Amino acid sequence: MKSAEQNRRLFRRVIWVLIFSIVVIAACARVPLTERKSLQLVPEQEVLALSFQQYNQVLRKSKLSQNRQKVEMVRRVGRRIARAAEEFLEEEGLGYEIENYQWEFNLIKDDKTVNAWCMPGGKVAVYTGILKYTKDEAGLAVVLGHEIAHAIAHHGNERMSQALLANMGGMALSVALSQRPAETRRLFMAAFGLAANVGFLLPYSRVQESEADHIGVVLMAKAGYDPRVALAFWDRMSKANKRRPPEFLCTHPAPRTRIRRLRVYIQEALRYYKRLGSCENTAQMGGKDEQ
């Protein structure tokens, strides 16, 4: 009798494991360009709703820059990278995702914060503290290409999916929000790099960071910026503070590893850059065609 009950329990466990495995397999998506499989359990519309809400909260708590020239530069470069990202998605057979992006670029006045990020749906913030390292539009294109790459690769969704599995047993986000709303929102903020005090944690894994480097230089090249600029930018960042790296570097690959990989990625990206013809000259002039 006891043996029969144990068998039934074992059978139920096997069934649940099979169902769970099927759900996880079905939730796997490919990262564009790298073709890596990533776990994305969270429905995109729910992610977008949380993203837009949190983005607005960040803007309300932050002081936006009033420097018209710098704000226009951020938006000009951002628009160019955004157009390149949409072209990239089309080429990767992911054009249906474009409708999810409502691009917005804001410059937050905070000279002590060396950071930038892009949330799902194309909501981007750049901090004035990073501009001393970007130097010019091409350097800024490195940063925006990298951050937008995180978004179109759905790295945040992957992080949140992993967190839901680890902390809530794979509970659906809609259920988690209704039953454990405070904890769910903390998971979202951690997954996308937002701390409760509007600080930034940069939780992406090194694999995801390398993917963002790879996709990012392709995006900037497609937008008409020389991807070779990325080497100089990351070199400046790595030398910025050897004792305590800026937030932007917290979980990134070691500088030597990054530079070695970037050289390979850049050779691929240059094919897109050379293909642009007249855009190459435009980028070298700092994008004056759009001023």
Among 147, 158, 209, 211, the active-site one is 147
Name residue, tokens 């004056």. 288
Q: Which of 205, 179, 181, 180 is nearest to 191 (CA)?
A: 205
Q: Does residue 147 have an active-site annotation? A: yes
CA 139 – CA 161 distance, rounded (Å): 32
- Reading the block at residue 160, the tokens are 């949140």
Name residue, tokens 């226009």. 72
Q: What is the DSSP letter of 269?
A: H
Q: At 126, which helix (H) or strand (E)?
A: strand 123-127
Other CB atoms closer than 10 Å to residue 259's CB: what's the count?
15
- Is there a contact between 158 and 165 (Cβ–Cβ < 8 Å)? no
CA-based torsion, 211, 230, 94, 73: positive or negative: positive
Residues with catalytic function: 147
